[in-house]
Structure 1
Amino acid sequence: MKLATFNINGIRSRLPALLAWLEREAPDVVCLQELKAPDSGFPEADINRAGYGAIRHGQVSWNGVAILAKDAQPVETRRGLPGDPDDTHSRYIEAAVNGVLVGCLYLPNGNPQPGPKFDYKLAWFERLIAYAKQLLDSGHPVVLAGDYNVVPTDFDIYNPRSWLKDALLQPESRACYARLLEQGWTDALRTRFPDEQVYTFWDYFRQHWERNSGLRIDHLLLNKPVAAMMRDAGVDRWVRGEPHASDHAPAWVVLDLEGAADSTKKTAVKKTALGSTAAAKKSTARSTQATPSKKKTGK
């Protein structure tokens, strides 16, 4: 299963680009962010014609998230991040797809900082950290994919000097991301490319795309069961170079669901065999104990 995350930066204006990417790369699951459209403005018919079922959590002009599934309908499990009933931003949606729980998120940008927008970013991050722990404790295979609006380290940006005041690089933002990883999540792209600068975002200024002056802010975090399924990860950079492109490129991970299922079956068979052997030994032991011994009488 190829699972991707893509900040589309306006789904109505960039629908042709989205459909072209879906046709060429054929991801099985897609997490979209920054739809900038209400639910009524979501192009569901076009998405369906492309072979994808979809759920979405839209908002007029801003934010908005969606999950697409190829030849399937995502089963929605949550809409909105818990922890603040007064939060009206459409930034989180969650669904079960092919046995994997997929959380699609669009973390607040936080600029300008300091200020209320940055405070909201950190508060939202705290809610995410708390909820992510609940997901880990559930034992289900989980992926948290989306635009985190955090550059984890200086290695994840072409040059941090001109971004030092940006909310994406602040120590508080990075500390939150680090705390999330410390729970036991695997950063798919960094794991796949431990020594290579890989970017997912290039802004529209100063020829940053042409010069490959990028940032890595789109992340796919895998819990331990899913990390064991990971076979590859990458970025579809070509999407960023297309006309009228989003300033993000899709990031993706490939999971071996069949291999994981086979492994689970083998483990179950092994446990059953061991259980049967143990049960047989116990049964034999009980039988031996139940059989009276013959005493020698000398007669």
Structure 2
Amino acid sequence: MRLVSWNVNSIRSHHHRLVEWIERHDPDVVALQETKCTDEVFAALMAEVLADGYEFAHHGHNHWNGVAILSRVGIDDVRYGLPGVNRPPYDEARVVSATCGGIDVHSLYAPNGRELDDPHYLFKLVWLERLRTVRVPGRPTALLGDFNVAPTDRDIYDPVRWRRRTHASPPERAAIDALVDDGLRDVTREHLPDDGVFTWWSYRPGQFAANRGLRIDLALCSDDVADRVERLWIDTAERADTHDVEKPSDHAPLVLDLD
């Protein structure tokens, strides 16, 4: 069973790449983030994939945010958003959840936070705290997506430069630690322990070539899912590929192969 998490940075801009990637790599479940479209637009753009046996759940309102799950192993008990009351800004399209192949899959796109003194930063911290409630106890679980947090200094190309910025602040990292304390495992580090493992690179010239990136796309899994992971890999070739007029997403796909 192959699970994929990918911030596609606009389905309108990159749906051809996504369709081609799915054809090449044959995933069973794909968690997408930052689709930036409505449910109707998503269904239209992904018609070719849906015709090939995939079902989907998409949560999107307009040209901001947006998350989706594509599955060819069933998609049941679909849930949108965080549990509880979601008044603005917590009604943004940032979480969609479903049971796929016996695993509770959550595709999530955490708030960016902007700056440490911006109100959006507090929104991000509260949002991450509320994310702890999304898991259904006792179910095999995979939280997949763009957390917009680099869990440790090893997950940043230049931790000194990022010390006073969002994505690396102690409260953000504590929020990820809290999810781990709740019984989830950061499976990327279990399978890719070396330095220089990133999932996002700026579009600025030379950043990807120099591997000046961040690891902010995470897979946090319950033990019963983490123990099944035989291989985990980041498709950096897709981030590098500029074979046509479409530039790639600034994120690379994160792929989990389960036995």
Shift of 1:59: 2.1
Match of 1:227 in 2: 226
Match of 2:154 in 1: 155
Match of 1:118 in 2: 121
Match of 2:110 in 1: 107
Shift of 1:50: 4.5
Cα pair 1:55 1:76 within 8 Å, conserved: no
Match of 2:63 in 1: 61
Structure 1 unaligned blocks of 5 or more: 257-299
Amino acid at match of 2:133: A
Richer in strand (by share): 2
Shift of 1:196: 3.6
Give, in whole Å, the separation in 2 of the partners of 1:117 and 1:67.
26
Cα pair 2:74 2:101 within 8 Å, conserved: no
Richer in helix (by share): 1
Amino acid at match of 2:34: E
Cα pair 2:150 2:167 within 8 Å, conserved: yes
Deviations 1:49-87 (A, max 9, x none): 3542211001211000000113x4422431111144212
Amino acid at match of 2:41: G
Give, in whole Å, the separation in 2 of the partners of 1:167 and 1:44.
33
Question: Superposition RMSD on alpha carbons, in Å?
Answer: 1.4
User: Using a 3 Å threshold, how does the CA distance of structure 1 residues 63 and 76 change in structure 2: closer, same or farther?
Assistant: farther
Deviations 1:9-42 (A, max 9, x none): 0001111111111111111110000001111211
Cα pair 1:23 1:50 within 8 Å, conserved: no
Give, in whole Å, the separation in 2 of the partners of 1:33 and 1:76.
19
Match of 2:48 in 1: 46
Give, in whole Å, the separation in 2 of the partners of 1:77 and 1:60.
20
SS of match in other structure, 1:191? helix
Cα pair 1:44 1:54 within 8 Å, conserved: no
Cα pair 2:15 2:46 within 8 Å, conserved: no
Cα pair 2:8 2:14 within 8 Å, conserved: yes
Deviations 1:249-287 (A, max 9, x none): 00011111xxxxxxxxxxxxxxxxxxxxxxxxxxxxxxx
User: Using a 3 Å threshold, how does the CA distance of structure 1 residues 119 and 139 change in structure 2: closer, same or farther?
Assistant: same
Amino acid at match of 1:85: N
Q: Percent identity at matched positions?
A: 40
Match of 1:34 in 2: 34
For normalisation by structure 2, the TM-score amounts to 0.92
SS of match in other structure, 1:12? helix
Give, in whole Å, the separation in 1 of the partners of 2:216 and 2:233.
13
SS of match in other structure, 1:54? strand
Cα pair 1:22 1:50 within 8 Å, conserved: no
Structure with more relative contact order (C-alpha pairs < 8 Å, separation 6 or more) = 2
Give, in whole Å, the separation in 1 of the partners of 2:162 and 2:129.
23
User: May I ask how many residue pairs the two structures share in their alignment?
Assistant: 251
SS of match in other structure, 1:131? coil
Cα pair 2:74 2:99 within 8 Å, conserved: no
* 1:1-299 matched pairs, under 5 angstroms: 1-42=1-42, 43-70=45-72, 72-86=73-87, 87-132=90-135, 135=136, 138-243=137-242, 244-256=247-259
Amino acid at match of 1:2: R
Higher alpha-carbon Rg: 1
